[in-house]
Structure 1
Amino acid sequence: MNKLEQLKTMTSVVADTGDIEAIKRYLPEDATTNPSLVYKAAQLDQYRPLINESAAWAKTQSGDVLENTLDMVSVKLGIEILKIVPGYVSTEVDARLSFDTIATINKARRLISLYEDAGIERNRILIKIASTWEGIQAAKVLEEEGITCNLTLLFNIAQAIACAQSNITLISPFVGRILDWYKKAEGVDSYPGMQDPGVMSVTRIYQYFKTHGYDTIVMGASFRNTDEIECLSGCDKLTISPDLLNSLNEDSGTLTQALNANNQSNETKWEELTESQFRWHLNQDPMATEKLAEGIRNFTKDLISLEQLLSSEYLSEKESN
């Protein structure tokens, strides 16, 4: 077996893309999307019919036409992905709502209702929300309603533990973006395998969850190279870009499982985190503070670019006529 095939025996492999053809090629268990990936997909000709259908539907609805179009594009893309993957698809809430608990809840309910109107059961969908305090509180409410969530832009153990304490279905701790920060901060080009700061972060979270009996799924995300992936083989899930899936697919070497649920953490179980404690722990971690803020800004930037694309090519008067 190649390394991708070996990895699938240890870990649930998830495709980090909105590209339908790539998902068909690598046959992952689940797929994740975000505003950046949806924006890339929207620029491909193969998705024009999907976007035209979304725009036509949005014009028949009450409320903001652009917002309705954006919601339906995300849902229709998710539906296409669900025709291929047997598990979840993650659909992201507007990053501009990252500090608004009520608005995040309402947007998530709206997305789930659109999926359900299309005949998709909510247990196939993960609503993707940034791991801010407000986002975690929104996800806690949604989980109680049977709306499963994926907490993303997660860089810090306090974020992870707050999610686990709130019984969130899945978290996406980032690997590559942590590596990026430390390479720049410490002026180094690379770190040996298991000493990669992103790998170390996810390993710590995974072992803590398993040791203390949390059911929250740990899905490593944001990889820069296949070494990071191999160092986290055995993690519950790993979401991987098409380029790195291809590299693993072409590698015939032997893959040894790195993480094991039986490996115990020596970390004492944390008490229930309050909002002030959460914010203090995040404040004390400059990497997590900076990368969380940067991630929200970048997702927002791509979301605005997507809105501009929809407005100019699908919702303009010229297009309507």
Structure 2
Amino acid sequence: MMDQLSSVRKVSTIVADTGEISEIKFYQPHDVTTNASLILRAVRASKYDDLVHASIIWACTKSRKKEQQVEYAIEYLTVSLGVEILKYVPGSISTAIDARFSYDIENSILQARRFVTLYNNFGVTNKRILIKLAATWQGICAASKLEQEGIRCNLTLLFSFAQARACAEAGVYLISLFVGRILDWHITNTSIKKYTAMSDPGVMFGRKIYEYYKKYGYQTIVMCASFRNIEEITELAGCDRLTIPPHLLKELSETEGDVTCKLFYNMAQRERPICMTESEFLWQHNQNLMAVEKLLEGIRFFNIDQIQLKKIIFNLI
């Protein structure tokens, strides 16, 4: 009998939520997504010392100021790890913009261009690169401009319908919808402490966005992520892409059974609504307390890991 991971692969593209090359080799995802937390974990692993050292040497040729050297070294290291990962996947690598730029259109665009230039210098084409930005209004605006330049974007930390709609209207390549973090918030902040896979609020949100995009013919890829159990994954089988952490990839691969495709849309497409304005986006997003809290929390946590990463590199230069 087929295992569930093989079954899910038939209806959804699998993305690995890890920077660990041994795990990528073993589970063979199509794409990989990284963030500051995963880069920090890689830096703390001695097996990547050569990449860290090479990044520092390169950064020191770019600036005499230590603070600037740290910034350059982290960017070079991030891309170097991405290049290594791309040796083992057929698809793309998502590379995250510094969390400090989550509300800064100009610096988000500038760092995205630097990342892409570094990848290109390593021989990696734009088709294999996704620039990951937080789905703030500024992040969405930056992504819209980057898409026009041929730089594809992954809008992450997506928790509200306003975020999802604005991303689609901006023409971004892909969104990362955080199923498990939505569930976490509801368990902590409501009277309901247990959910079935079908009633899981994160799963319901993922289904809603998938159907909305297909109904109006948006080309933006829906990628569900941040899973807490394999039931959430199987309930969203059929979604364009599923980002799965290694421990759940392992559980799926060790669980027998066929997984039914749960998400599909075969109705006629409808005429799209008029694009949201910034004020409409902010108003609608801010009506969703869960989305406001989880977006801000996600940005803060990524920034904490970014600060730790900078301290490590600073001490090595």
Judge which range, 62-71 or 82-91, deviates more. Answer: 62-71
Corresponding residue SS for 1:85: coil
Secondary structure at the aligned position of 1:194 is classed as coil
Aligned-partner Cα distance in 1 for 2:80–2:108: 20
- Structure 1 residue 185 corresponds to structure 2 residue 186: no
C-alpha separation between the residues in 1 aligned to 2:248 and 2:92?
Answer: 20
Q: 1:297 aligns with which of 292, 295, 300?
A: 300
1:6-33, CA deviations, whole angstroms, 9 ceiling, x for partnerless residues? 1111100000011111000000000000
What is the 5 A alignment of 1:133-152? 133-152=137-156
Residue aligning to 2:247: 243
Map of 2:117 onto structure 1: 113
1:4–1:248 Cα contact (<8 Å) kept: yes
Q: How does 1:225-304 map to 2 (within 5 A)?
A: 225-262=229-266, 269-304=272-307
The equivalent position to 1:155 in structure 2, one of 154, 159, 170, is 159
The amino acid of 2:279's aligned partner reads S
Using the size of structure 2 for normalisation, the TM-score is 0.96
Separation in 2, partners of 1:118, 1:246? 32
2: CA distance between counterparts of 1:264 and 1:82? Answer: 37
- Aligned residue pairs total 313
Distance in 2 separating the partners of 1:172 and 1:199: 13
- Contact 1:220 1:238 (C-alpha < 8 Å) held by counterparts: yes
- Tell me the alpha carbon deviations over residues 141-185 of structure 1, each in whole angstroms, 9 at most, x when there is no partner: 000000000000000111011011111000001100000000011
* Structure 1 residue identity aligned to 2:10: T
Three-state SS of the structure 1 residue aligned to 2:239 is: coil
Select which of 167, 175, 179 maps to 2:179: 175
Runs of 4+ aligned structure 1 residues displaced above 4 Å come to none
SS state at 1:247 partner: helix
Asked if structure 2 preserves the Cα contact closer than 8 Å seen for 1:208 and 1:264, the reply is: no
Structure 2 partner of 1:165:
169
Q: Tell me, what secondary structure is at the counterpart of 1:195? A: coil
- DSSP-derived class of the 2:198 partner: helix
Runs of at least 5 residues in structure 2 that lack an aligned partner in the other structure: none
**1:118 deviation in Å?**
1.1
Once residues 261 and 18 of structure 1 are traced to their aligned partners in structure 2, the CA distance between those partners, rounded to angstroms, is: 33
Gaps of 5+ in 1: 316-321
Q: Map 1:22-37 to 2 at 5 A.
A: 22-37=23-38
Deviations 1:22-74 (A, max 9, x none): 00000000000011111111111111111111111111113610000000111
Q: 1:228 to 1:184 in 2, by over 3 A?
A: same
For normalisation by structure 1, the TM-score amounts to: 0.95
d(CA) in 1 for partners of 2:194 and 2:232?
A: 11
Contact 1:219–1:237 at 8 Å: present in 2 too? Answer: yes
Supply the AA of the counterpart residue of 2:26. Answer: R
SS at match of 1:109: helix
**Residue by residue, what CA displacement relative to the aligned partner does 1:225-245 show, whole Å, maximum 9, x if unpaired?**
111111100000001100010
Q: Deviations over 1:83-138 (max 9, x none)?
A: 01100100000010000001100110011011111111111000000000000000
- Give the aligned partner of residue 134 of structure 2: 130
In the alignment, structure 1 residue 99 sits paired with structure 2 residue 142: no
